[in-house]
Chains A and B, each alone.
Chain A
């Protein structure tokens, strides 16, 4: 009986903690969003963060995009050739990348590379009293530190996803056209014919914008809310990757259902 009561008590406490944290996360997001207009007046802060959040993530995005595109080209060709439809390889690669793999894989890679770095940086700034020091200097850390990073994540994600998809298409072209003998003209013309700017490209961009918003929010909140110890920062970094990945995959399903579910 006592064991059961303990279990119920623990469940209740865990539920309350979860909702309390969810509330803190939303209040934090409100603070960040309120600070965004002021941050836009200082574009240099955002540009500096876009370098560390976006430009430094470029290498992993380019390399991954290339390999994903090459794998798509190889797998797609092997399937399509059985039906004599290998000329449609360009469509298959482009639609898969633009609609799904581009935004989703970019967001997952972004969470692992830039999101974890953001959490660790903010967590360590908290642990070393840098954020507290700013507050005492009458400088709002949310406006000065968090909002520029949030904006840079939000703006970088669609750009990185676009680069991922573009490089991926070239990866698929390299395998399909250069190595496996798919017709070059058919590869590009079918892609041009079947990939719709509004239905496919814009929806892919919307997905990556949403993922940028969510991953930036999670990464910064985890860092800001971290227990200011080595263990706390380590946990925040891990949670950023795990929560971001789950949020991205879950949201991808919802967005896909809304966009293409008819």
Chain B
């Protein structure tokens, strides 16, 4: 396997008194689609924000392309982010400009290319996600799936070395989901990018991932190729990947004994 683009070691991060990550180690390799899966609330999105330098950890190391992200200054952080694309769960499109301008936005902000070339680049990116015909629409006129594809076109506008996908399949109909699954894999291979897909949609994510990490309770509980993970002996992995209602993650939220609770009412 290739050298890791992202290397995380002994990562600890807390929100208030709640410890989100407690000693997470993971590697993301160049050219691969790496899935980070886990139940809601395990901090998957937080992990992407830590990789992108939007949050700082309590301790531990996050290296992107050999650079220690938490210790980067503002200037260097912005320089590093130019090599990253991020697809937000909500799309995060700028609502006061149309689809074309949204995709052109990072190109205009970071380059001095002539307008004709900007137009060609934007149309190429929109063509790649199948939305060249929607260039003149406003974000409010797009469906959820279309908005995410526009956001994807914007994320790859500057040909980044790595794209971070935050729950790309959530709330999508089967067709949109199929389109997104295909796009993530094809763009990764065609542009020789590195992709990090954070998701709890096991089937879709496993279908395109080269490697997967399972997170729970602030730790990596299992990792490996998706096919190998399905055969894992870990009870937690089995429960999560096969969507079993009970197991190490209990069906019941912790509570006092049921009998005692009932008797308290008299």
A interface residues, Cβ below 8 angstroms from B: 128-130, 132-133, 135-140, 144
Would you call B69 an interface residue if the criterion is a C-beta within 8 Å of the partner chain's C-beta atoms?
no
Residue in A130, A138, A144 whose beta carbon sits within 8 Å of that of B92 in the complex: A130
Which residues of chain A have C-beta atoms less than 8 A from B84's C-beta?
136
Measured CB to CB, the nearest residue on chain A to B164 is A136
Which residues of chain B have C-beta atoms less than 8 A from A132's C-beta?
54, 88, 92
Smallest distance from the beta carbon of B239 to chain A beta carbons, Å? 31
Which residues of chain B have C-beta atoms less than 8 A from A130's C-beta?
92-95
From A132, A136, A138, A144, name the one whose CB has the most chain B CB atoms within 10 angstroms: A136
Which residues of chain A have C-beta atoms less than 8 A from B52's C-beta?
135-136
Instruction: Please state if B109 and A136 are interface contacts (CB–CB under 8 Å).
Output: no
Which residues of chain A have C-beta atoms less than 8 A from B109's C-beta?
137-139, 144
Residue in A128, A137, A140 whose beta carbon sits within 8 Å of that of B106 in the complex: A137
Would you call B110 an interface residue if the criterion is a C-beta within 8 Å of the partner chain's C-beta atoms?
yes
Smallest distance from the beta carbon of A35 to chain B beta carbons, Å? 12
Would you call B59 an interface residue if the criterion is a C-beta within 8 Å of the partner chain's C-beta atoms?
no
- B74-82, B203-211, B216-224, B242-250 - interface stretch: B74-82
Residue in B81, B105, B110 whose beta carbon sits within 8 Å of that of A135 in the complex: B81
Residue in A129, A136, A137, A139 whose beta carbon sits within 8 Å of that of B90 in the complex: A129
Smallest distance from the beta carbon of A56 to chain B beta carbons, Å? 14
Which residues of chain A have C-beta atoms less than 8 A from B54's C-beta?
132, 135-136
Beyond the given pairs A135-B81, A136-B81, 8 more chain A to chain B contacts, judged by CB atoms under 8 angstroms and listed by A's residue number, are A128-B90, A130-B92, A132-B88, A133-B86, A133-B88, A133-B93, A137-B154, A138-B82
CA distance A144 to B105 in the complex (A): 11
Instruction: Please state if B79 and A138 are interface contacts (CB–CB under 8 Å).
Output: yes
Instruction: Please state if B95 and A137 are interface contacts (CB–CB under 8 Å).
Output: no
Residue in B78, B92, B105, B154 whose beta carbon sits within 8 Å of that of A140 in the complex: B78
Which residues of chain A have C-beta atoms less than 8 A from B110's C-beta?
138
Instruction: Please state if A129 and B106 are interface contacts (CB–CB under 8 Å).
Output: no
Measured CB to CB, the nearest residue on chain B to A131 is B92
From A128, A133, A139, name the one whose CB has the most chain B CB atoms within 10 angstroms: A133
Measured CB to CB, the nearest residue on chain A to B96 is A121
Smallest distance from the beta carbon of B74 to chain A beta carbons, Å? 8
Smallest distance from the beta carbon of B66 to chain A beta carbons, Å? 18
Which residues of chain A have C-beta atoms less than 8 A from B94's C-beta?
130, 133
Smallest distance from the beta carbon of A148 to chain B beta carbons, Å? 13
Which residues of chain B have C-beta atoms less than 8 A from A136's C-beta?
52, 54, 81, 84, 86, 88
CA distance A144 to B82 in the complex (A): 16
CA distance A140 to B89 in the complex (A): 21
Which residues of chain A have C-beta atoms less than 8 A from B79's C-beta?
138
Which residues of chain B have C-beta atoms less than 8 A from A140's C-beta?
78
Which residues of chain A have C-beta atoms less than 8 A from B90's C-beta?
128-129
CA distance A132 to B105 in the complex (A): 14
Instruction: Please state if A133 and B78 are interface contacts (CB–CB under 8 Å).
Output: no
Which residues of chain B have C-beta atoms less than 8 A from A139's C-beta?
105-106, 109
List 6 A-B pairs, minimum CB-CB distance, nearest first: A133-B92, A138-B81, A129-B92, A136-B86, A138-B78, A138-B82
Smallest distance from the beta carbon of B169 to chain A beta carbons, Å? 17
From A130, A135, A138, A140, name the one whose CB has the most chain B CB atoms within 10 angstroms: A138
Smallest distance from the beta carbon of A137 to chain B beta carbons, Å? 5
Smallest distance from the beta carbon of B51 to chain A beta carbons, Å? 10
Instruction: Please state if B88 and A137 are interface contacts (CB–CB under 8 Å).
Output: no
Which residues of chain A have C-beta atoms less than 8 A from B95's C-beta?
128, 130
Per-residue CB contact flags for chain B residues 92-103 toward chain A (1 = under 8 Å, else 0) read 111100000000
CA distance A139 to B94 in the complex (A): 13
Which residues of chain A have C-beta atoms less than 8 A from B92's C-beta?
128-130, 132-133
Q: List 8 A-B contacts (CB under 8 A).
A: A132-B54, A135-B81, A136-B84, A136-B88, A137-B105, A137-B109, A138-B110, A139-B105
Smallest distance from the beta carbon of A20 to chain B beta carbons, Å? 15
Measured CB to CB, the nearest residue on chain B to A133 is B92
CA distance A144 to B108 in the complex (A): 12
Smallest distance from the beta carbon of B256 to chain A beta carbons, Å? 26
CA distance A133 to B157 in the complex (A): 14
CA distance A162 to B70 in the complex (A): 49
Smallest distance from the beta carbon of B128 to chain A beta carbons, Å? 18
CA distance A22 to B63 in the complex (A): 35
Which residues of chain B have C-beta atoms less than 8 A from A138's C-beta?
78-79, 81-82, 106, 109-110
Measured CB to CB, the nearest residue on chain A to B52 is A136
Measured CB to CB, the nearest residue on chain A to B105 is A137
From A129, A135, A137, A140, name the one whose CB has the most chain B CB atoms within 10 angstroms: A137
CA distance A188 to B7 in the complex (A): 77
Instruction: Please state if B88 and A129 are interface contacts (CB–CB under 8 Å).
Output: yes
CA distance A129 to B82 in the complex (A): 18
